């Protein structure tokens, strides 16, 4: 299948259409400190870790709370919302993962989100069993657009980076994938904001298109 030996999926905006919920919760958290960001400003944080996001907000708006407190308050609020939310996988995701699993191509998740959040989403969407390994923002020092998270996923899968394919919906994610010397599918999710995916090898709007591309159609 296109000489791909492993596929690494971003989670938010690729496996699940979670970015609108995230942005809503981010706006709620920012409002606690009198900070208001529009959708374009919010979209700049798509694909990054909570630590990176709150580091920028703390610096730009001179917030006096510690970074740990800012992160903890937002994380607790987000987990509470996710626990109540019915979470569904994106259309076509299960069919694509089934195809890859049947072809013996191992899959991984490489998400900038914290592990607790990733675990909740993968369990509630019933996708966890498809993946050989799950790498989270907690597992690396440098978040996307640095390639660390994808390189760690490839290492855990035992596959050379150049033989891996990444599926990403964010500019930071595509940049990280190419920095890791991996091929990349840019998944154009309108709910992820106006993301520049021009560096991706191909761009798609539905997971069925990825399946067709993988099969050489």
Q: Does 148 qualify as catalytic in the annotation?
A: no
The alpha carbon of 122 is separated from its chain's Cα centroid by a whole number of angstroms, namely 12
Q: Is 164 helix (H, G, I), strand (E, B) or coil?
A: strand
Q: Is the pLDDT of residue 19 over 60?
A: yes
Residue 53 shares a structural domain with residue 138: no
Q: Known catalytic residue: 10? A: yes
Domain of residue 34, CATH code? 1.10.150
Rounded CA gap, 43 and 204, in Å?
19
pLDDT of residue 84: 86
**Which member of 10, 17, 148, 169 is catalytic?**
10
Q: What is the pLDDT of residues 47-64, one digit of tens each?
A: 888 899 999 999 999 999
- 98, 197: one domain: yes
Q: What is the pLDDT of residue 35?
A: 93
Alpha helices in 61-147 (DSSP H): 67-84, 93-102, 115-124
Q: What pLDDT digit, counting tens, does each position of 154-188 carry? A: 999 999 999 999 999 999 999 999 999 999 999 99
Residue 3 pLDDT: 84
Q: Tally the domains of the chain.
A: 2
Clarify whether residues 117 and 13 are in a common domain. Answer: yes
Structure confidence at residue 209 as a pLDDT band (50, 70, 90): very high
Which listed residue (12, 17, 148, 169) is catalytic? 12
User: Are 77 and 127 found together in one domain?
Assistant: no
Domain that holds residue 99: 6-18+87-214
The token pair that represents 182 in the structure block: 């991996």
Structure confidence at residue 69 (pLDDT): 94
In a domain, 121, yes or no: yes
Its pTM stands at 0.89
Clarify whether residues 132 and 55 are in a common domain. no
CA separation, residue 70 to residues 29, 73, 122, 159, 182 (Å): 9, 5, 25, 37, 34
């Amino acid at each position: 299948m296109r000489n791909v030996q492993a596929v690494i999926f971003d989670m938010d905006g690729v496996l699940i259409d979670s970015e609108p919920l995230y942005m809503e919760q981010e706006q709620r958290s920012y409002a606690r400190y009198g900070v208001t960001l529009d959708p374009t400003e919010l979209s700049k944080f798509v694909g990054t870790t909570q630590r990176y996001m709150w580091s920028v907000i703390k610096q730009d708006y001179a917030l006096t709370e510690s970074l740990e407190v800012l992160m903890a308050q937002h994380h607790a609020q987000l987990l509470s919302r996710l626990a109540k939310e019915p979470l569904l996988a994106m259309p076509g995701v299960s069919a694509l993962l089934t195809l890859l699993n049947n072809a013996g191509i191992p899959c991984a998740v490489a998400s900038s989100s914290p592990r607790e959040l990733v675990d909740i989403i993968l369990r509630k969407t019933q996708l966890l069993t498809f993946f050989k390994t799950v790498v989270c923002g907690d597992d690396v020092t440098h978040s996307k657009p640095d390639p660390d998270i994808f390189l760690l996923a490839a290492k855990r899968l035992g596959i050379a980076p150049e033989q891996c394919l990444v599926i990403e919906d964010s500019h930071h994610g595509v940049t990280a994938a190419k920095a890791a010397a991996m091929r990349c599918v840019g998944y154009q999710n309108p709910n992820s904001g106006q993301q520049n995916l021009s560096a991706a090898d191909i761009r798609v709007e539905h997971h069925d298109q990825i399946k067709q591309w993988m099969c050489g159609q």
